[in-house]
Structure 1
Amino acid sequence: MSKLLQLFKNKYFVTTFAFVVWMLFFDKNDVLSQYEYRSEVKKLETEKEFYSREIEIIKKDLNELGSNLNTAEKFAREKYFMKKDNEDVFVIIKEQPKAE
């Protein structure tokens, strides 16, 4: 018990302990904030990868649309449900089974 009391009387220990407690819990860059920042960075990196893949797909589609008229017609029919004057378009949507 006396060693513990001597330890708390040591000004260097008290100063270091107070500094560590302040940095871990009370500072604006505390441990919890750092964890939240890292999780946000991971989320943003995942979104960046997703949008990068989407951009590549769209660039490929755009290149095909600019080079081939048949591709443009196919794209308009599939994406925007366009049709010729003498055609009928039937859109079939598959329903997902409801989870109970």
Structure 2
Amino acid sequence: MSFNTLKKNRFFKVLTNTFVLIFIPFLIWMLFFDENSYLVHRKFNQEVKDLENTISFYQTKIAEDKATIKKLDDSLQLERFAREQYLMKKENEDIYIIEFDTIK
């Protein structure tokens, strides 16, 4: 293929257009090298999703803790919670912890 036939080729004309010659490096710069590049935005979007998941997790935990606190208004429930969670006991009382071996 000679240079003249290459010049007449539509693809060659588009690539040698001044606007295209300026736009392609600009596009590459904006996608990969700029401070606000696509890669940076992708990383930030992933961080936002992770933080939203963390927020959701903690909101669920807060709701569970509020329900537990509401249950602990009753003195019997408070005593039961203290015995189960913190192994507290009354005077002159012995506590035995029985653990079952689940590994066979």
**Normalising by structure 2, what TM-score?**
0.75
Alpha-carbon distance, 1:90 to partner: 3.0
Q: How does 1:36-75 map onto structure 2 within 5 Å? A: 36-66=43-73, 68-75=74-81
Q: CA RMSD in A?
A: 2.1
Distance 2:92 2:47 in 1: 53
Assess, with a 3 A threshold, how the Cα gap between structure 1 residues 37 and 95 changes in structure 2: closer, same or farther.
Answer: farther
Question: What are the ranges of 5 or more consecutive residues in structure 1 without an aligned counterpart?
Answer: none
* In structure 1, C-alpha distance between the alignment counterparts of 2:21 and 2:96, rounded to whole Å: 77
TM-score (norm 1): 0.78
Task: Return the letter of the residue paired with 1:51.
Answer: Y
Which deviates further from its counterpart, 68-77 or 34-43? 34-43
Once the two structures are TM-superposed, the CA of residue 79 in structure 1 deviates from its matched residue by 1.6
Alignment-mate amino acid for residue 83 of structure 2: R
Task: State the secondary structure of the residue aligned to 2:97.
Answer: coil
Unpaired stretches in structure 2, ≥5 consecutive residues: 1-5
Aligned pair count reads: 96
CA deviation vs aligned residue, 1:50-76 (integer Å, no higher than 9, x gap): 11111001111111212x100110111
* CA apart distance, 1:96: 7.1
